C-alpha cells in the first residue's frame, strides 16, 4: 500500500516513519483493503481555507477527509482518499485539556481514516458509532505502541 504523506506545517514534528504502521493497523482492523491513501498535515489557515471551500465554513477544524474510491473487488486499483489533519488544532486542544498533542493528532488521523471508510458523525446514531470506533482504534494503537510520539 502506498501512503503519501505531505507535511506542510511547523506546529508539531511528525515522524513520517510512524505513519505507515498506524494507517495499516487501522485499515487492517476495519478489514479494508486499498492501494493508496494520502495524509496531509497542514496549518490552521490551510485547514480553514479547505473548510470554507468545501463545507462553506471558514472556521478551524481538526481534520477533513475526501473519500475517493468505493470498495470494489473488481477495481484494479483503489485510492481510499485524502485526509487533511491540522496538528496545530491538536496542539491547542491538548494544551487546554492537559492531553498529549501526539495522541490527539493520532486521534485526528483515525477519525479522518474512518470517514474515508464510510463512518459519519452528523446524526447522533452515526456519531455514537464513530466514537466507538475511534475508542477501539485508539486503545489498540496504544496497546501496540503505534500512536504518534515525539521523535528527535
Helices (H), 11-86: 16-29, 44-55
pLDDT digits (tens, 9 = 90+) for 122-148: 899 999 999 999 999 999 999 999 999
pLDDT digits (tens, 9 = 90+) for 52-109: 999 999 999 999 999 998 877 678 899 999 999 999 999 999 999 999 999 999 999 9
pLDDT of res. 122: 86
Element spanning 124, H or E:
helix 124-143
- Distance between CA atoms of residues 85 and 7, nearest Å: 10
**Phi, psi (rounded to 5 degrees) for 3:** -120, 105
pTM for this predicted structure: 0.95
pLDDT digits (tens, 9 = 90+) for 32-57: 989 999 999 999 999 999 999 999 99
Q: For the chain, how far is it from start to end, CA to CA, in angstroms?
A: 27
Helices (H), 7-43: 16-29
pLDDT of res. 68: 94
Amino acid at each position: 500500500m502506498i501512503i503519501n504523506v505531505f507535511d506542510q506545517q511547523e506546529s508539531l514534528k511528525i515522524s513520517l516513519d510512524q505513519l505507515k504502521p498506524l494507517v495499516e493497523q487501522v485499515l487492517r482492523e476495519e478489514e479494508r483493503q486499498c492501494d493508496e491513501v494520502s495524509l496531509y498535515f497542514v496549518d490552521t489557515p490551510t485547514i480553514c481555507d479547505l473548510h470554507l471551500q468545501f463545507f462553506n465554513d471558514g472556521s478551524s477544524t481538526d481534520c477533513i477527509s475526501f473519500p475517493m474510491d468505493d470498495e470494489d473487488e473488481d477495481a484494479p486499483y483503489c485510492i481510499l482518499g485524502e485526509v487533511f489533519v491540522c496538528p496545530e488544532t491538536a496542539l491547542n486542544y491538548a494544551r487546554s485539556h492537559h492531553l498529549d498533542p501526539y495522541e490527539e493528532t493520532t486521534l485526528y488521523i483515525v477519525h479522518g481514516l474512518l470517514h474515508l471508510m464510510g463512518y459519519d458523525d452528523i446524526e447522533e446514531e452515526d456519531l455514537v458509532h464513530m466514537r466507538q470506533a475511534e475508542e477501539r482504534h485508539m486503545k489498540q494503537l496504544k496497546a501496540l505502541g503505534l500512536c504518534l510520539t515525539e521523535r528527535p
